[in-house]
Amino acid sequence: MPKTRIKNRVVLITGGMGGLGETISTKMADEGYKVAVTYSPGNTKHNEWLADMKANGYTMLAVPCDVADIASCQAAVASVAAQLGAVDVLVNNAGITRDMTFKKMDKVNWDAVMRTNLDSLFNMTKQVADGMVDRGWGRIINVSSVNGSKGAFGQTNYSAAKAGVHGFSKALALEVAKKGVTVNTISPGYIGTKMVTAIPEDILNTKILPQIPVGRLGKPEEVAGLIIYLASEEAAFLTGANIAINGGQHMQ
């Protein structure tokens, strides 16, 4: 797609400051998108992050947003629209883990994961979907996880929420398909973010990498590349899909 057309498009990435989200943000900026990211209201380092981005040639908009709170999401999207324009591409990337066996899990940790990882899809998408439909073009890309497809020990809350992500995507995709709006899920496996690479090397080598047929961690740039494709004109016939990007760890 010509860069001049991309430059008129606004992408909003939740959780866009850390790990995978940061790579998605910079790669989409490289493609010519006007990039907005959300950060947790309690994060006091957003100005430092923006300064680092600017030093590397990236000018981005950062807005505070508690994705578990619909009023906060409404305010965040309104701020983006006022400063950059209507959101054309929404990447629902924000997520948390609160891992423990079901026997030990309490309602607080169940609710925290469900609100941030699943309720957030409703809270954010509700703010942009009607506008996309009215304009006849939009892309909603929801980040799930390999563990939403295959399950994971100690992650009943996380796996349930991430499985729900794709159910949401499929149902909404049906409703907006004829309006030029696509809704898709991606399900990454183990990606070489700071969080994953901080895992002790012996655990990586003996427990994690043997599960991955390609024999390595995924690269954040590979996930960002998939998202860039899903946001493109060429992906207009692809909707309601769950694309596994996990090195063959779990094949669908």
What ranges in 90-152 are assigned the alpha helix state H?
A: 107-114, 120-135, 146-150
CA dihedral 15, 16, 21, 26 (to 10 degrees): 180
Distance CA 64, CA 41 (A): 5
Distance CA 44, CA 33 (A): 26
Residue 158 bears catalytic tag: yes
The answer to whether residues 20 and 220 touch, using CB atoms and an 8 Å cutoff, is yes
Nearest to 95 by CA among 62, 78, 119, 76: 119
Longest dimension (CA), the chain: 54
> Which two three-digit tokens encode residue 219?
């690269």
CA dist 124 → 34, 83, 108, 142, 212 (Å): 18, 18, 22, 11, 33
Considering 33, 39, 158, 190, which one is annotated as catalytic? 158
Catalytic residue list: 158
